[in-house]
Amino acid sequence: MTAAISRIPRLFLALSIAIALGACAQQTPAPSADSAAAATPAEASAEPVTIPTVDSIRCSITASPASLVVNVDGQVNTGGWTSPTLAPRTYVAPPTNGVWEYDFRAVPPSGMATQAFSPIAASHTWADYPVAGLKGIRVFGVDAGVKEIAITACTRS
């Protein structure tokens, strides 16, 4: 009976070693150069998304050459956002209310990023803007995302 009892720990030891060796024997192939190259363009072509928060809009009008400059400040929920843009919406006909709209967009981080609200800014220069009928600018974000400014509030130079 004692011989049978002394064999039990050795049996557990042998099974433990077999399981450990079996786990070590599994091999995961290293990524090939083709799959690594395929991943790179996807990161490089990251698409911009609408930013979460638009904080403020400022605008200025220059007489010569005639242009409208729209500046926008906002916040994103992490660091690492790049390429902020103020993209004008496309219209078939000018808006009947005279308020032209923009989307505030940027490319979010693709990897690790600081977890803190971060400021972000963008601007757009509109050469030969339609002086007649332009009453305001509206900029869209996502959360606290819509801000509007009247053209009469623009500085002039």
Res 6 pLDDT > 70? no
Exposure string of 1-37, with b = 16+ CB inside 10 Å and e = fewer, is: eeeeeeeeeeeeeeeeeeeeeeeeeeeeeeeeeeeee
pTM of the complete model beyond 0.75:
no
Q: Give the mean pLDDT of 71-83.
A: 94
| d(C-alpha 10, C-alpha 16), whole Å | 10
As a whole number, mean pLDDT of residues 34-52 equals: 61
pLDDT value at residue 140? 95
